[in-house]
Amino acid sequence: MISGKMSESLNKHMNFELQSAHLYLSMSSSANEMGLKGAANWFMVQYREEMIHFMKFYTYLVDQGTNITLLASKAVPNNYKSLLELMQKTLAHEQVITSCINELSEQAVKEKDHATQIFLQWFVTEQIEEENNDRDLLAKLKLVGDNGHGILMIDAEMAQRVFIVPPGSPLAV
Ligand code: FEO
């Protein structure tokens, strides 16, 4: 049993995770349009991970007896100029998500909601990894600048990313 306030906050964030999935799907298409198939793969994997995050929130809320509310999806941008811009926007987006997860965790602590605190722990750790991966790629992109060969090498690295369903996930997409 979670409070109405907690369930409302989690429901709101669940929609944010779905919005994140749409954002990365759009980024995958933009990377593909730039001729960067490896980056398109990387963002497609990111999209699938966000769908898992969305479903984790969905399942938790349903298991806690919440009738979830799906909000209408907002349009996401698709007018990126470079891979560098895509990664800058990605890191900025993940930093916002991290703040939201931290706020949810603070609310759960305040409400002495132990179940939600445990549920959110996975996301706290996940955000460290997400931001770290983005920072690594961003650092490499800054190093190569406009050098086409360097960008293609990073694209080849991004092609290696594989989607792995986290253990115990509610849905493989
Ligand atoms: Fe679901 Fe990338 O945070």
Tell me: the pLDDT tens digits for 40-89?
999 999 999 999 999 999 999 999 999 999 998 899 999 999 999 999 99
Q: What confidence category does residue 165 fall into, taking pLDDT thresholds of 50, 70 and 90?
A: confident
Instruction: For residues 141-148, give the mean pLDDT.
Output: 97
Rounded Cα distance, 9 and 99, in Å: 13
Nearest atom (ligand 1) to Cα of 130 = 2
What is the residue range of 77's domain? 4-159
Ligand 1 contact via 52 beta carbon (within 6 Å): no
The finding on whether 97 has its CB within 6 A of some atom of ligand 1 is yes
Q: Is the CB of 56 under 6 A from ligand 1?
A: no
If you measure from the C-alpha of residue 99 to the centroid of ligand 1, how many angstroms do you get, rounded to a whole number?
A: 11
42 part of a folded domain: yes
pLDDT reported for residue 47: 98
Q: Is the CB of 113 under 6 A from ligand 1?
A: no
What percent of the chain lies above the pLDDT cut of 70? 98
Percentage of residues in the chain with pLDDT exceeding 90? 93
Q: What's residue 170's pLDDT?
A: 78
In a domain, 17, yes or no: yes
In a domain, 88, yes or no: yes
Residue 94 CB less than 6 A away from ligand 1: yes
DSSP 49-80: HHHHHHHHHHHHHHHTT----PPPPPP-----
Q: How many domains does the chain have?
A: 1
The answer to whether 91 touches 134, Cβ cutoff 8 Å, is: yes
**CATH code, domain carrying 106:** 1.20.1260.10
Report the mean per-residue pLDDT for the chain: 96
Question: Residue 160 has what DSSP assignment?
Answer: T
Q: Does residue 90 lie within any of the structural domains?
A: yes
pLDDT at 37: 98
Contact 91, 131 (CB under 8 A): yes
- The answer to whether residue 167 sits within a structural domain is no
Please give the distance, rounded to the nearest whole angstrom, from the Cα atom of residue 149 to the centre of ligand 1. Answer: 30
101 occurs within a structural domain:
yes
Identify residue 49 by its one-letter amino acid code.
E
- Give the closest residue (by CA) to ligand 1 atom 1: 50
